[in-house]
Amino acid sequence: MGILINKDTKVIVQGISGKEGSLQAKWMIEFGTKIVGGVTPGKGGIEVQKVPVFDSVREAVDVNKPDASVIFVPPQFAADAIFEAADNGIALIVCITEGIPVHDMMRVCSYLKTTSSRLLGPNCPGITVPGASKIGIMPNPIHMSGNIGVVSRSGTLTYEIVDLLSRNGIGQSASVGIGGDPVNGTSFVDVLQLFENDPETHAVVMVGEIGGTAEEESIDFIKGMSKPVITYIVGVSAPPGKTMGHAGAIISMGVGTAAEKIKAFEDAGIIVARSPSDIVQHIKKMDYS
C-alpha cells in the first residue's frame, strides 16, 4: 500500500520536545503512525506524548530500529540533524524545517549521495499514505484511501488538492510534498518513478508552481510513464522577481514563469488542469480512480 512508508514503518521524531515536534507527534500517532521514539540532546529519559526520548539518533536506533525520521529542529541545526540520521542508517529522512541555508543543503545533498538514505524536503509537509501512516504535518482529516498519487512542491496546495479530491470521493494512494526550497533531497521525477512502480497508484496529480525548472525536468519522464499524469501549475499572475510563499518560488530573469511551464507541458501532450476543480473533472472523466 502506497510508497516509501506503510503501517509498519517505525518513525523517530528529531526535535520531539519542542512545541511543534510534540504537537505533530501527537497528530501523527492519532493518524496511526508508529512513533517509536524521539530525539532531543540533553533530554534523554523523559517521555513526550508517551514516547521515549533519547539523547541521540544512535541511542534511538540501538533500542527501536526505526525505518524513518522526521525532523522538527531550528534551521541552524537542521543540517546536522539530517547528517546524524543518515550516519545512523535511517532509510527515510523527512525534514519539515524551513529556512535552512542553501549552502547547508548543498552539503547535505552531496553527502547523502554517499549513503543509502533518502531525504524528503526540507521545507516540506512530508508524506501520507491514507489508512497506513503519516510522516509530517499534513492535516489528518483530509485524506481518503484510493488510487491517485499526489506530488507537490507546495505544502498548502498539497492540502487543498488532497482535500478537494477526498470531498469528491477520489482517494489517494499517497500524497507527497517534496518541498519548495531551491535545493532539496527528492525531486518530482523521483516521486513519479515511485508512483510508476506502485501497483496501487493508477494515476498521478502533479502540482507545480513558479520558479526554477523542476517541473520542466519531469517532462521527459512523464512522457514515458504508463500511467496518466495530470499537472497543475500555479502562479500565473505572479510578478517577475517576487517571491511567492517560499525561497524556491521566484521568477528570475524570465525563467520559471507559470506560462512557460504550462506551455512546456502542453507542447509535450501532457494534461494541464486550469484549476483545482479541473483536476477533479479530468480524473472523473477518465475514470482513473
Lowest mean pLDDT across 22-31, 81-90, 205-214: 205-214
pLDDT tens-digit readout, 68-97: 999 999 999 999 999 999 999 999 999 999
Q: What is the CATH classification number for the domain harbouring 43? A: 3.40.50.720
In 3D space, the residue among 104, 108, 79, 82 whose CA is nearest the CA of residue 93 turns out to be 82
232 in any annotated domain: yes
pLDDT at 235: 64
Is there a single domain that holds both residue 143 and residue 226? yes
What is the residue whose three cell numbers read 501527537? Answer: 26
Instruction: Give 189-219 as a DSSP string.
Output: HHHHHHHHT-TT--EEEEEEESSSSTTGGGH
3 in any annotated domain: no
Is there a single domain that holds both residue 184 and residue 251? yes
119: left (phi over 0), alpha (psi -120 to 50) or beta: beta
- Give yes or no for residue 218 having a pLDDT over 50: yes
202 in any annotated domain: yes
CB 72 within 8 A of CB 23: no
Is there a single domain that holds both residue 87 and residue 144? no
Strand order in the sheet with 51-54: 47-48, 51-54, 34-39, 10-14, 68-71, 92-95, 118-120
Is there a single domain that holds both residue 145 and residue 96? no
**Which of 87, 120, 153 lies at the terminal end of a domain, its last residue?**
120
Q: Catalytic: 143? A: no
CB 194 within 8 A of CB 150: no
Distance of CA 22 to the CA centre of its chain: 20
Structural domain total, the chain = 2
The residue annotated as part of the active site, out of 103, 143, 202, 246, is 246
- Domain containing 80 equals 10-120
- pTM recorded for the entire structure: 0.92
Q: Cα separation of 123 and 100, whole Å?
A: 8
Is there a single domain that holds both residue 187 and residue 228? yes
pLDDT tens-digit readout, 27-56: 999 999 999 999 999 999 999 999 999 999
